[in-house]
């Protein structure tokens, strides 16, 4: 019986999976892992409790490690002193551990990562330094979100509230420097920037911190990013409150160190909370779950057990708890695959010179690569959420809560998730179930109470009180001086653009000191591209004037909201008035004259059938359209003034070879060359309205130009004086004039808002009317008449045709009448004929000679007594002629006979 059972056991071992067989053979009773923490810190204390909680749960769970007990050797490390921290970490690495939890400090993490690579020991670190990557350090496994994502969330907040510049205060170590460098990159992607960076050492004195804050208060930015540890960070908030830097206008954004401190500490002094009112901070997002609730429920017992009763759970507690579980699950899979724990000495660590460092005490974990592979393949749901690593070694779906400190607590105003890289009020785990939507229009946060107990979003910057006087370049124009020019008497700048700038500046809630510097000698208009270039080169702090906002200029500088609409238009001369006597022939071409003739014969024929009537209805509709079109076209020809040239738009300029004029200094020259491909040799620079008029008057054949391309504001001012010129076609660019500032200048944003206010309250229009109100053309231009009045010259040809037709008709009638007169026979009285017949009235005897025919009196008498239309000759019958001898057709008309000596009708 025993032999049979033994054989069954051997058979089971042979037939069982390799994993079970190897597990039973290779699993040790105890496995040691290490932990490098800073015991006297909030995060260190929370991490110690979380590790103990994880060990209790793992070692009491029979489904994990299969009887192997997991132990953790914790070592304290000094994060403030890099050298001591390095020595302590290296001493700890002399022990044989198969994995390490921590370290929490970036400086120590960098050092230990080099050692971990050499000894092949996975580091389960929650250090957030973005420069700690699995590419450089393959055995570094980050079990908490990287600063790469946290700083992206901070940048998203800055961009959401439309702040362009921020001030960064940070601790001067790897954690602080690398974090701010990551923030700078994230802000740059959103066209924001850090205008002022100021670092301080971990052991900075109070006086140093005060000087630091005073220098920050002098800066223009009022958005302050604080990236430090809890100890120095709380000192800075307390001092800032004393310096009145926690009031209206300020914005403070603290990284996740603040939420970690407030979450973990059960009692925060009231004065500490009072000094942080309105501050925004971030917290790594931990979704709600039953596992999370279970850990929180037993936290109080564990914190008392390990003498940390004042500590509560924080996001770092959940990440550390899951880190221990990740190692345990990886060990379980490692043992299932036949992994063995063994160490060997590294020959490269032997001290050949006989030194006393004893580096040979450090051992290599022989199968460290296998354990690392199992850790990176982790995929389970922990208290922090889904524990799974992406290709870069970071946890998937990093997310943050956006926290607003109000009163004695914190309020969540929204979330940021790397899944969409947007701010939202929807929980990140809800977004994971939907397709990612990266539209900025979907961003939203709940209302924030800002420092100073205000709900109004701060502007984010002020004009610094100790700022230098702004140097503002202003074009000194030669022509169109109404826009901007230098007053030769007072030396000051004046004009429409100057008034717009000063009125907008008066609306700003802070004073701005500036000085106008004329650009150009005043003998000709300056080149505005050079003026904008000087702003980019910081020779000017801004440039104001009639500066067109073009694509090339917006690449290097920022412009305010346009304060006047502008676009390129074409100027060309106009005729006095249409005097073409044959204008009525122009609406129709030769191909249409047959259709035109049908207008007068559409009703001539009688329509007898239904189909004919249907065709007639359609044709009458066609006739109606033709007649209406003719009328409309002729009306336009007779009443609208036409251009002197054939120019109808920009295409006519492109297709021609004639010269084109433009204003000196205008962007129109480069636009026509680069955008319209017009040869530069065709372009003529014109410097004044007088030159405009002369060039158009002479035309291209006499040394002038065929047209002028200029901006509409100049054109409107020009046309108020010169009436023989008009705009051809419509604007072919849509632009405006604005004030130029360096990139990301906050003054540009505030002035844009002020310009919009001037537009809404009507002040902008009043300034326009003051300088640019156009007048009517002078009345001495008598050759121009109202184009709505029709003159005789326009219809002379029509009257000529009508007259010719009448003369021709009269001549034809005259010759026809003469011909009839010449054939005319004078009437004779009827006399009885021999045989009882009578001569009828129509019977004539020819005249004896031609004198009687040519008699004028007879001709006039002939015209006066016009012969009636001929009737059929009456048929004469005798009494003896029977009617039966004639047919019906022959009897047509009156029949006469002679009865009793007289002619009677039958």
| CATH code of 517's domain | 3.40.190.10
- Coil, helix or strand for 279? coil
Q: What's the pLDDT score for residue 903?
A: 55
Give the mean pLDDT of 539-547: 95
Q: How confident is the model at residue 624 (pLDDT cuts 50, 70, 90)?
A: confident
Judge whether residue 6 has pLDDT over 70: no
- Coil, helix or strand for 755? helix
| Distance (Å) of CA 497 to CA 482, 500, 758 | 9, 5, 13
Closest to 344 measured CA to CA, from 328, 356, 361: 361
DSSP classification of residue 852: T
Judge whether residue 167 has pLDDT over 60: yes
Rounded CA-CA distance 427/55 in Å is 31
User: Which conformational region is residue 42 in: left (phi greater than 0), alpha (psi within -120 to 50 degrees), or beta?
Assistant: alpha
Query: Which residue segment(s) compose the domain that 533 sits in?
Result: 470-563
Q: Give the number of domains in the chain.
A: 3
Asked if 30 contacts 55 with a C-beta cutoff of 8 angstroms, the reply is no
- Does one domain contain both 181 and 223? yes
pLDDT tens digits for range 768-792: 999 987 666 643 443 444 445 566 6
Asked if 602 contacts 595 with a C-beta cutoff of 8 angstroms, the reply is no
For residue 235, the domain's CATH number is 3.40.50.2300
Residue with more model confidence, 331 or 420: 331
Residue 54: burial class (beta carbons within 10 Å; 0-12, 13-18, 19+) = buried
Asked if 402 contacts 155 with a C-beta cutoff of 8 angstroms, the reply is no
Q: How confident is the model at residue 813 (pLDDT cuts 50, 70, 90)?
A: confident
Report the predicted TM-score, pTM, of the whole model to 2 decimal places.
Answer: 0.70
Beta-carbon count within 10 A of 435 CB: 6
- Does one domain contain both 266 and 299? no
- Does one domain contain both 200 and 305? no
- Does one domain contain both 482 and 546? yes
**852-861, Cβ contacts within 8 angstroms, sequence gap of 24 or more:** 852/826, 853/821, 853/822, 853/824, 858/826, 859/821
Q: Identify the weakest region by mean pLDDT among 56-60, 78-82, 254-258, 834-838.
A: 834-838
Residue with more model confidence, 480 or 441: 480
Quick check: is 353 in a domain? Answer: no
What Rg value do the Cα atoms of the chain yield, rounded? 52
Find the angle CA(513)-CA(518)-CA(522) to the nearest 5 degrees.
160
Distance from the first to the final alpha carbon of the chain: 164
Any bridge partners for residue 751, and if so which? none
- Coil, helix or strand for 470? strand
Any bridge partners for residue 405, and if so which? 410
**Residue that has been written with the tokens 């074409």 in this structure:** 570
Residue with more model confidence, 610 or 224: 224
Rounded CA-CA distance 323/48 in Å is 12
- Does one domain contain both 228 and 280? yes
Quick check: is 83 in a domain? Answer: yes
Question: What's the mean per-residue pLDDT of the chain?
Answer: 83
Q: What's the pLDDT score for residue 169?
A: 98
pLDDT tens digits for range 572-595: 887 655 556 777 777 777 666 766
Quick check: is 663 in a domain? Answer: no
Q: What's the pLDDT score for residue 479?
A: 92
pLDDT tens digits for range 119-137: 899 999 999 999 998 889 9
Any bridge partners for residue 140, and if so which? 123
902-905/895-899 β-pairing: antiparallel
- Does one domain contain both 274 and 404? yes
Quick check: is 853 in a domain? Answer: no
| Distance (Å) of CA 426 to CA 330, 412, 445 | 34, 11, 10
Residue 58: burial class (beta carbons within 10 Å; 0-12, 13-18, 19+) = buried
- Does one domain contain both 274 and 304? no
Q: What's the pLDDT score for residue 21?
A: 39
- Coil, helix or strand for 888? coil
Rounded CA-CA distance 502/14 in Å is 94
Judge whether residue 323 has pLDDT over 60: yes
% of the chain with per-residue pLDDT over 90:
52
- Does one domain contain both 52 and 137? yes
Quick check: is 44 in a domain? Answer: yes
Q: Identify the weakest region by mean pLDDT among 105-119, 163-177, 647-661, 805-819.
A: 805-819
Give the mean pLDDT of 401-426: 94
- Residue 509 phi, psi dihedral angles, 5° rounding: -80, 15
Q: What's the pLDDT score for residue 93?
A: 72
Q: What's the pLDDT score for residue 881?
A: 53
Q: What's the pLDDT score for residue 694?
A: 93
Q: What's the pLDDT score for residue 285?
A: 96
Quick check: is 379 in a domain? Answer: yes
- Does one domain contain both 124 and 154? no
Residue 178 CA to its chain's centroid (Å): 33
CA dihedral 366, 367, 369, 375 (to 10 degrees): -140
Of 563, 581, 614, the position where a domain reaches its end is 563
- Does one domain contain both 164 and 264? yes
Asked if 79 contacts 107 with a C-beta cutoff of 8 angstroms, the reply is yes
Q: How confident is the model at residue 258 (pLDDT cuts 50, 70, 90)?
A: very high
DSSP classification of residue 477: -
- Coil, helix or strand for 163? coil
Quick check: is 463 in a domain? Answer: no
568-573/725-728 β-pairing: antiparallel
Judge whether residue 833 has pLDDT over 80: no
Judge whether residue 331 has pLDDT over 60: yes
Judge whether residue 841 has pLDDT over 60: no
Of 563, 585, 608, the position where a domain reaches its end is 563
Of 498, 532, 563, the position where a domain reaches its end is 563
- Coil, helix or strand for 20? helix
Q: How confident is the model at residue 472 (pLDDT cuts 50, 70, 90)?
A: very high
Q: What's the pLDDT score for residue 94?
A: 75
Judge whether residue 9 has pLDDT over 50: no
Judge whether residue 234 has pLDDT over 50: yes
Quick check: is 734 in a domain? Answer: no
- Does one domain contain both 486 and 555? yes
Judge whether residue 168 has pLDDT over 50: yes
Give the mean pLDDT of 403-424: 94
Paired tokens of 172: 């001067």
Distant-in-sequence, close-in-space partners of 766: CB < 8 Å, separation ≥ 6: none
Rounded CA-CA distance 2/304 in Å is 53
Q: What's the pLDDT score for residue 781?
A: 42
Rounded CA-CA distance 65/98 in Å is 15
Q: To which H or E segment does residue 401 belong?
A: strand 399-406
Asked if 471 contacts 679 with a C-beta cutoff of 8 angstroms, the reply is no
- Does one domain contain both 404 and 305? no
Any bridge partners for residue 171, and if so which? 200
pLDDT tens digits for range 500-527: 999 999 998 888 889 999 999 889 999 9
> In b/e form, how buried is each residue of 770-799, taking b as 16+ CB within 10 angstroms?
ebbeeeeeeeeeeeeeeeeeeeeebbeeee
pLDDT tens digits for range 672-716: 999 999 999 999 999 999 999 999 999 998 999 999 999 999 999
Sign of the C-alpha dihedral computed for residues 731, 735, 736 and 740 taken in this order: negative
């Amino acid at each position: 019986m025993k032999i049979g059972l033994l054989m069954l056991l051997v058979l089971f071992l042979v037939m069982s999976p390799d994993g079970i067989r190897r597990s039973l053979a290779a699993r040790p009773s105890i496995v040691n892992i290490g932990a490098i923490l800073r015991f006297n810190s909030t995060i260190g204390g929370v991490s110690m409790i979380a590790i103990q909680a994880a060990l209790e749960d793992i070692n009491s769970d029979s489904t994990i490690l299969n009887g192997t007990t997991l132990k953790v050797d914790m070592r304290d490390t000094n994060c403030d002193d890099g050298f001591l921290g390095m020595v302590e970490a290296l001493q700890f690495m002399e022990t044989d551990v198969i994995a390490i939890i921590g370290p929490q400090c970036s400086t120590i993490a960098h050092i230990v990562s080099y050692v971990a690579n050499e000894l092949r020991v996975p580091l389960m670190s929650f250090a957030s330094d973005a420069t700690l990557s699995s590419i450089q350090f393959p055995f570094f496994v980050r079990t908490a979100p990287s600063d790469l994502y946290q700083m992206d969330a901070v940048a998203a907040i800055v961009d959401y509230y439309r702040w362009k510049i921020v001030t960064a205060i940070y601790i001067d170590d790897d954690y602080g420097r690398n974090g701010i460098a990551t923030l700078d990159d994230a802000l740059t992607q959103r066209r924001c920037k850090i205008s002022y960076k100021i670092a301080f050492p971990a052991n900075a004195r109070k006086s140093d911190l005060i000087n630091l804050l005073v220098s920050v208060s002098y800066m223009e930015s009022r958005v302050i990013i604080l990236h430090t540890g809890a100890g120095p960070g709380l000192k800075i908030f307390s001092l800032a409150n004393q310096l009145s830097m926690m009031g209206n206008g300020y914005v403070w954004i603290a990284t996740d160190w603040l939420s970690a401190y407030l979450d973990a500490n059960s009692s925060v002094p009231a004065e500490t909370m009072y000094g942080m009112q309105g501050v925004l901070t971030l917290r790594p997002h931990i979704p709600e779950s039953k596992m999370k609730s279970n850990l929180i429920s037993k936290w109080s017992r564990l914190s008392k057990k390990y003498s940390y009763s004042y500590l509560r759970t924080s996001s770092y507690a959940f990440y550390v708890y899951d880190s221990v579980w990740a190692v345990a699950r990886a060990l379980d899979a490692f043992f299932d695959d036949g992994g063995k724990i063994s160490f060997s000495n590294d020959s490269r660590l032997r001290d050949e010179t006989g030194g006393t460092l004893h580096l040979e005490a450090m051992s290599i974990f022989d199968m460290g690569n296998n354990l690392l592979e199992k850790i990176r393949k982790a995929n389970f749901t922990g208290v922090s959420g889904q524990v799974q690593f992406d290709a870069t070694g970071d946890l998937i779906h990093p997310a943050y809560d956006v926290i607003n400190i109000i009163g004695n607590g914190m309020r969540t105003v929204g979330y940021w998730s790397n899944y969409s890289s947007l701010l939202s009020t929807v929980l990140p785990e809800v977004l994971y179930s939907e397709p990612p939507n990266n539209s900025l229009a979907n961003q939203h946060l709940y209302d924030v109470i800002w420092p100073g107990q205000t709900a109004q979003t701060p502007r984010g910057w002020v004009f610094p009180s100790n700022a230098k006087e702004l140097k503002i370049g202003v074009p000194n124009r030669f022509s169109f001086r109404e826009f901007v020019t230098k007053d030769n008497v007072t030396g000051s700048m004046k004009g429409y653009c100057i008034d717009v700038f000063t009125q907008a500046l008066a609306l700003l809630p802070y004073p701005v000191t500036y000085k106008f510097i004329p650009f150009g000698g005043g003998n000709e208009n300056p080149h505005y591209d050079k003026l904008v270039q000087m702003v980019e080169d910081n020779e000017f702090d801004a440039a104001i004037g009639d500066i067109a906002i073009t694509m090339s200029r917006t690449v290097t500088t920022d412009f305010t909201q346009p304060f006047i609409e502008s676009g390129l238009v074409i100027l060309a001369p106009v005729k006095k008035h249409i005097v073409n006597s044959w204008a009525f022939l122009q609406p129709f071409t030769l191909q249409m004259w047959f259709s035109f003739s049908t207008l007068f014969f559409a009703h001539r024929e009688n329509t007898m059938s239904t189909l004919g009537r249907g065709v007639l209805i359609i044709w009458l509709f066609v006739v109606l359209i033709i007649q209406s079109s003719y009328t409309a076209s002729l009306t336009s020809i007779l009443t609208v003034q036409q251009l002197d040239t054939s120019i109808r738009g920009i295409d006519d300029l492109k297709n021609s070879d004639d010269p084109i004029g433009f204003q000196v200094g205008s962007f129109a020259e480069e636009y026509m060359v680069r955008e319209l491909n017009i040869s530069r040799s065709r372009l003529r620079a014109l410097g004044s309205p007088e030159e405009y008029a002369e060039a158009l008057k002479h035309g291209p054949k006499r040394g002038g130009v065929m047209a002028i391309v200029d901006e509409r504001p100049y054109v409107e001012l020009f046309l108020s004086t010169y009436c023989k010129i008009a705009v051809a076609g419509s604007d072919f660019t849509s632009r405006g004039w604005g004030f130029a500032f360096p990139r990301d200048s906050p003054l540009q944003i505030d002035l844009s808002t002020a310009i919009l206010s001037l537009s809404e309250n009507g002040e902008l229009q009043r300034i326009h009317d003051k300088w640019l109100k156009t007048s009517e053309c002078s009345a001495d231009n008598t050759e121009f008449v109202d184009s709505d009045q029709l003159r005789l010259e326009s219809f002379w040809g029509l009257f000529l045709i009508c007259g010719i037709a009448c003369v021709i008709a009269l001549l034809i009638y005259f010759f026809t009448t003469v011909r009839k007169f010449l054939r005319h026979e004078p009437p004779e009285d009827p006399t009885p004929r021999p045989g009882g017949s009578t001569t009828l009235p129509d019977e004539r005897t020819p005249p004896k000679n031609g004198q009687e025919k040519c008699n004028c009196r007879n001709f006039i008498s002939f015209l006066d007594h016009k012969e009636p239309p001929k009737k059929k000759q009456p048929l004469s019958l005798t009494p003896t002629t029977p009617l039966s001898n004639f047919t019906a057709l022959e009897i047509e008309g009156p029949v006469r006979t002679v009865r009793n000596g007289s002619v009677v009708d039958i």
